[in-house]
Amino acid sequence: MTYPTIALASSSPRRRELLTQLGVNYELVKADIDETPFNNESAVHYVQRLALAKARAGLARLSVELPVLGADTIVVVDGNILGKPASFAEFKLSMQLLSGRSHQVMTAVALVSHTRQLQQLVCTDVYFRVLSETEISHYWHSGEPQDKAGGYGIQGLAAKFIQRINGSYTGVVGLPLCETEQMLRQWQELE
C-alpha cells in the first residue's frame, strides 16, 4: 500500500520514528498551540481537541496542499491528566499515583485538509508495579521523564515498571500504528 505524503504536525521524535516504521513519506510542520485545558474539560475531549488543533495549526502553516497529521498523548489516573513534570516534586507525585496500579494512556490522532478530517482515539490501560522511592529518584535523574506525558516513556527505562498493558503499545509511545494506518488507507480511498 502506498500512503499519501503527509505533513506531521509534531516535534516528537517518537512519532517520527513510528511514521517511518509505517513507511509513510512526511514532512515536518510546526504546530505551536495553547495546551491549557478548559475548565471542567474531560480528558477525552482535551486530548481529541489538542490533536485536532495541532493538525489545523500545521495546515495553516503549509504552503502546499498536503493532509496534516496531528496527535496528542495524555496519561490519566482517577480522571486527572498527568502532564509533563516541571519539577522532581511533580514527577514524584505522578509516580506515586501510578505505583502499584493501573492508569489510562489516551492518544488522539487527527488527519486534516482544507476539505475533510478524520479522527481516532485510542485508550490503553497500563499497569505499573509498586515503585520504590529509590527507583523513582533514579528514574528522574536519568533525564528521561522530563519531556514525557505522565513522566514516563514505555519505550525507555520505565519499561521495567510496567507489568502489563491492555491496548495499543504504539498508542502509549505516542502514535497508534494500527489506527493511523487505517486512517491513511481511508484517506487514500476517499481521494
| Ramachandran region, residue 116 (left: φ > 0; alpha: ψ -120 to 50; beta: rest) | beta
Active site residues: 72
Say which range, 9-13, 87-91, 124-128, has the weakest mean pLDDT.
9-13
pLDDT of res. 155: 94
Q: What pTM was estimated for this model as a whole?
A: 0.94
Domain boundaries, the chain: 6-190
pLDDT at 1 over 70: no
Which whole number is the average pLDDT over 48-53?
Answer: 98
| Three-state secondary-structure class, residue 123 | strand
Residue ranges with strand state E in 45-101: 68-77, 80-82
Q: Please give the CATH architecture assigned to the domain spanning 6-190.
A: Alpha-Beta Complex (3.90)
Angle between helices 13-22 and 177-190 (to 10 degrees): 60
Residue 165 CA to residue 104 CA, distance in Å, equals: 10
Averaged pLDDT score across all residues of the chain: 95
Among the listed residues 62, 81, 61, 59, the one whose alpha carbon sits nearest the alpha carbon of residue 70: 59
